Amino acid sequence: MAAPLDDMFSFCVDPGKVSSCVEVRFIDNVKGKGLFAKRSMKKGETIFIERPLVSAQFLWNTLYKYKACEYCLRALETAEGNARRLSGIPGLSLPHPELCRVRPEQHQACPQCQVMYCSSECRQAAADQYHRALCLGPSEDDPDHPINKLKDAWKSMHYPPETSSIMLMAKMVAMVKQAKDKAHLQKLFTHFCSRTANEEEEIAHKLLGEQFRGQLALLHSLFREALYDDHLSRWFVPEGFRSLFALVGTNGQGIGTSSLSQWVHACDALELPAQQREHLDSFIDQLYKDIEKETGDFLNCEGSGLFLLQSSCNHSCIPNAEASFPDNNFLLHLSALCDINQGEEICISYLDCCQRDRSRHSRHKILRENYLFVCSCPKCVSQMDELDVTSEEEEEEEGVAEGETEGDEMEDEMTDV
C-alpha cells in the first residue's frame, strides 16, 4: 500500500502552503508519479523546503574527520577551523569571522556514546526517533560490536566517492523499533520507488561491485545480527534485505553541508567598497586554490537522506528545478531554475552540469547504469533523430570523465549552494 498523498507533504515546512502550490500525479507505469505545479512560479522561487524522513552521514566522510551533527548533518567545524583543515594551513585566519554561523557552545554529545549534535534539540530529536536503539554507549569504539562490524564491512565494500550508507538502513530499522505507530511509519517507507528483482540486483551490483552477491550476503548476515526485530521480519529475509538495499540505493538524495561555504555566501552578500570587495574576493579565490591543492574535491560534510515529496521529482536533462542545502543542515530547498507554468511537471536532473553537456548516448549510459531508466525528456527526444555519433577521441575523453564521476549518486544535488 502506497503512502496517502497527505503524507507526502508531512515533512515539508508549512505543508499546507506547499500542497496549494504543487501536487503529485500518477503519470504512467514507466515514469510512475511526478510532481506538478498547481500555480505559476518564477525563476529563483523556493518551491518547498523539506526535511528528510531519515538521513545519515557517509561513513568514510565521518572517518576523514568531516564533523557533522549526527541528526541534521549541520557542519560542526567553524568556517575558520574548516578552512584550516582543508587548506592544510593551521594559522589561517578568515576575515569577517562574525559571519560564521556555527555555535560550538551549543553543541552537545550523547551522554552514553559521545556522538555529537549541534544542539540539545537535535540530540533530543535523535533520541526520540532512533538513537536509543542504535546508541553503543561505552562500546562506541569496540570493533567487535555488531553495529561496528556492519559499518566496517560496508566501508570495505563501498569506497569514496560515496553514494549511500548502510546506516541509512540501520536508522530505518531503529525508527520503526522506537515508533509508537509502527504501521504508519512502515507505510511511509513504502512510498519510495520500488524495483523488480532483476533491477535490485543491478543496484546492488552498482553499489558493491563485481563481488556484490557475496558482499550482499555478508551485509545481510551482519545487518540481521545487529538489528533484527520481529516487527520487521520481512526486511531481514534475503529478498526483503535486497529490496531495502535497492530502496536506499535508488531513492537516496545526496546531502552536502559546509560552514565554510555558508561563510563564503555570507561574504558575497556584504556591501563593501570596491577595493575591499576585490581584496576579499581575491582572498577567497586563493583559499579555494589552496584547498584544491591540499584536499581536492571533497569539501563538504556529505550524507544522504530519503525525502518524501522530493522523491516525486522525475529527471530531465533540461531541469526546471534544483535541490540545495543553503541552511548548512539537512533541510532541502527545491528552487525554480526558470519560470514554471501552472500544470507543468517539476523536474530535477540526476546528472551534474558536466554530465548534462555530454552526448545523448553518454547521458543515457550514466542514467541506465545508475538509475535503470532511459531518459525521454524533450532534450533527448529532440536528439533522437540527430546524428549522435562521437569520434573515438571524444568517446575516450568521455570515458575518462565517466570514470572520474561514476557512482556519484546525484552528485549535482550534493551542494550547499
C-alpha cell at 414: 550534493
pLDDT at 81 over 70: yes
406: left (phi over 0), alpha (psi -120 to 50) or beta: beta
Give the C-alpha separation, 301 to 303, whole Å: 7
CA distances from 241 to 81, 139, 151, 158, 347 (A): 40, 26, 16, 17, 30
pLDDT at position 159 is 87
Burial of 132 (0-12, 13-18, 19+ CB in 10 A): middle
In this prediction, residues 130-146 reach a mean pLDDT of 96
The pLDDT of residue 339 is above 60: yes
Provide the residue ranges of all domains of the chain, joining segments of one domain with +. Answer: 7-52+307-358, 59-254
Residue 138 has pLDDT above 60, yes or no: yes
**Residues in CB range of 269: below 8 A, 6 or more apart:** none
Confidence (pLDDT) at 253: 93
Q: Name which residue leads in pLDDT, 350 or 408.
A: 350
Instruction: Quickly state the pLDDT bin for 144 (edges 50, 70, 90).
Output: very high
Q: What's the pLDDT at 326?
A: 92
Quick one: pLDDT band at residue 407, thresholds 50, 70, 90? very low
Q: Is the pLDDT of residue 108 over 60?
A: yes
Q: Mark 336-371 as b/e (b = at least 16 C-beta within 10 Å).
A: beeebeeeebbbbbbbbeebbebbbebbbebbeebb
| pLDDT at site 200 | 75
* Per-residue confidence band for 381, with pLDDT thresholds at 50, 70 and 90: confident
pLDDT above 70 for 323 = yes
Q: Phi and psi (nearest 5°) for 133? A: -80, -20
Say what the pLDDT of residue 402 is: 44
Identify which has the larger pLDDT, 337 or 389.
337
Residue 301: beta bridge partners?
257
Q: With 0-12 CB in 10 A as exposed, 13-18 as middle and 19+ as buried, what is 392?
A: exposed
Cβ–Cβ under 8 Å, residues 96 and 78: no
Distance CA 114, CA 237 (A): 33
Q: Does the pLDDT value for residue 412 go beyond 60?
A: no
**DSSP three-state, residue 397:** helix
Q: Give the torsion sign (CA, 387, 338, 24, 51).
A: positive
Any idea which of 77-86, 205-214, 227-236, 273-282 has the lowest mean pLDDT?
Answer: 205-214
Average pLDDT value for residue range 166-175: 97
- The predicted model scores a pTM of 0.86
Phi, psi for 6 (deg, rounded to 5): -60, -35
**Joined grid coordinates for residue 386:** 540527430
At residue 163, the pLDDT reads: 84
Mean pLDDT of 378-406: 52
Instruction: Tell me the fold of 7-52+307-358.
Output: Beta-clip-like (2.170.270)
Give the sheet arrangement for strand 46-50, strand by strand.
46-50, 332-336, 321-324
Averaged confidence pLDDT in the chain: 87
Measure the CA–CA gap between 32 and 140, rounded to whole angstroms: 42
User: Is there a contact between 309 and 12 (Cβ–Cβ < 8 Å)?
Assistant: yes
Q: What local confidence, expressed as pLDDT, does residue 370 receive?
A: 62
Query: 267, 214, 304, 231: which is closest to 94 by C-alpha?
Result: 267
22, pLDDT greater than 70: yes
Q: How many whole angstroms separate alpha carbon 34 and alpha carbon 217? A: 34
**What per-residue confidence (pLDDT) applies to 193?**
77
The least confident of 136-140, 271-275, 356-360 is 356-360
